[in-house]
Amino acid sequence: MMARKYFGTDGMRGRVGVEPMTAATVMKLGWAAGKVLAKEGNRDVLIGKDTRVSGYLFESALEAGLSSAGINLRLLGPMPTPAVAYLTRTFRAAAGIVISASHNPYYDNGVKFFSAEGTKLPDETEQAIEDMMAHDMETVDSADLGRAHRIDDAPGRYIEFCKSTFPTGLRLDNMKIVVDSANGAAYHIAKGVFEELGAEVVSIGADPDGLNINRDCGATSPDLLRAHVLMERADIGVALDGDADRLIMVDHRGEIVDGDELLYVLVKARLDSGEKVPGVSGTLMSNLGLEHGLRELGVEFVRAKVGDRYVLEQLRERDWMLGGESSGHIICLDRTTTGDGIVAALQILAYVRESGEPLANLRAGMTRYPQVLVNVPLSHREALNDNPEVQKAVADAEAELGDSGRVLLRPSGTEPVVRVMVEGRVANDVEKICHRVAEAVGKVMG
């Protein structure tokens, strides 16, 4: 594959007004995608967005580019990323496009694509779009221009889909839930899903103004949810991120439950219901406690590169159903095609209701190991694994930690730093070891 100029691991993303996130480039991207997709014969594409003020700008730019390539559009308005994946399938569209920068601040935005099957575009298709970007834009004949239609009932369609993943006959009556929608794409959807299943819902982070998405709320800032769960004496809290593909929860005691712990609870739920769980995919950053907890349940665990795209690749390769990241991307392939915060929350809530146990008890089988992360600035690039000083520091650390810990060195893909991560059973030991390894890395890379 050629080097990518526009696409990263999750579409194209950046600061608004700075290349590639300019109106001109996004319009060109729409045209290029339209030209590639039109070759398959299906000329219908869906567009959804989150609540960033720049969504209006980029929706118009994509509409112009796609229409000029002869593509017909269905505009969904603000919709969660997983909702666009689902609706792309139900509308039998050639592709779905989401305008979102997920958990990033409002001044960033991005464009990501779903295939007709509701999955990430194949690498070959992304490469074809990249190649098409190098050509000059040419508008089809006026009679062949694409047309745009707005889908007014998209939120209701998605709410019904989410409810369909919840066990038939089960309800959430007498359960009080605080739902934080991060002032993002699920602000008009999440509350309705849980209320229609019988829960009493306290809704926060549901008043977007175009600038407050993810600001001190949602899955990336769960302290707000924690405070409301305690204040409302709620049974449980649900936090989504700006495009609602991440989930972090809070139990009735106000303790935060991250993606690793939620994944562990989901595995227990499947096993308790009699289903087989041959294996689970996490990432290089998944807590060691998850790996050990799953081992005790007799479930294999593999680590993918960081990013839900790579988790999904592992699941498909092994024909497994469950995977996720510490950050809250939870993938249940037996329920949907991509990470979905609302669907994952419903699976947890179903287990809470069916077991009669609070989330605090259900998560108890997994012990999170203390984890320390240090970013070491880079002044130059060097192969860390080949440096004898770094190798010795890592080997010494691993020997000290034994089977109860691990060391990870990971160059950042977005910043000039190397991330040094150490985890183990004893917090003080982990911190000392991490700083010792980071010092060795700094001498080489600084």
For the chain, how far is it from start to end, CA to CA, in angstroms? 32
- H or E element that contains 398: helix 388-401
Quick one: which of 398, 371, 380 has its CA closest to 441?
Answer: 380
Q: Where are the alpha helices (DSSP H) in 210-297?
A: 223-232, 259-272, 288-296
Report the chain's C-alpha Rg in angstroms: 22
Give CA–CA dist 415/434, Å, rounded: 20
- The CB-side HSE value for 87 (13 A sphere, CA atoms) comes to 30
Tell me how far apart the 2 most distant CA atoms of the chain are, in Å: 72
CA angle 247, 250, 254 (to 5 degrees): 160
- Classify 176 as helix, strand or coil: strand
Quick one: which of 396, 392, 384, 378 has its CA closest to 432?
Answer: 396
Active site residue 60: no
Query: What burial class does residue 435 get, using C-beta atoms within 10 Å of its C-beta: 0-12 exposed, 13-18 middle, 19+ buried?
Result: middle
Give CA–CA dist 82/74, Å, rounded: 16
Amino acid at 332: C
**Under a CB-based contact definition with an 8 Å cutoff, are residues 134 and 143 in contact?**
no
Quick one: which of 65, 412, 27, 98 has its CA closest to 245?
Answer: 98
Give CA–CA dist 64/289, Å, rounded: 49
CA angle 325, 320, 340 (to 5 degrees): 45
Catalytic member of 54, 67, 100, 102: 102
**Under a CB-based contact definition with an 8 Å cutoff, are residues 341 and 318 in contact?**
no
Residue the block writes with tokens 């911190």 = 431
Active site residue ranges:
102
